[in-house]
Homo-oligomer: A and B are copies of this chain.
């Protein structure tokens, strides 16, 4: 049980009264943290850059994840060329604030896991 639960007069969607669960609601889906990692490292990425990132994510999955991140205000799609139209993805302030989570994952992975 999350100690950050607060009792409320009406039922809530289970788990979302806990801030850890609410964060997972945004970044918990498979692949999402790896997209965040790439955007934190490179600041701006085109769809194809993210697709080529090395882990073998399907294009439909990437498209779905980016839409979810946009809906949560974590990622913004912006045009960097009008002719031809070309878009790239950047993190918002809310997205950049996810940096410490990804950084803590990187540190733990470096310290506690081994090269396969």
Closest to A92 in B: B112
> Is the beta-carbon distance between A102 and B20 smaller than 8 angstroms?
yes
Q: Interface segment, A24-32, A61-69, A83-91?
A: A24-32
**Copies of this chain:** 2
The minimal Cβ–Cβ distance linking A111 to chain B, given in whole angstroms, is: 7
> Is the beta-carbon distance between A41 and B104 smaller than 8 angstroms?
no
Residues of A participating in the B interface, judged by any CB pair closer than 8 Å: 1-5, 12-26, 28, 30, 33-34, 37-38, 41, 49, 52-56, 94, 97-98, 100-113, 115-116
The minimal Cβ–Cβ distance linking A95 to chain B, given in whole angstroms, is: 9
CA distance A9 to B103 in the complex (A): 27
The minimal Cβ–Cβ distance linking A12 to chain B, given in whole angstroms, is: 6
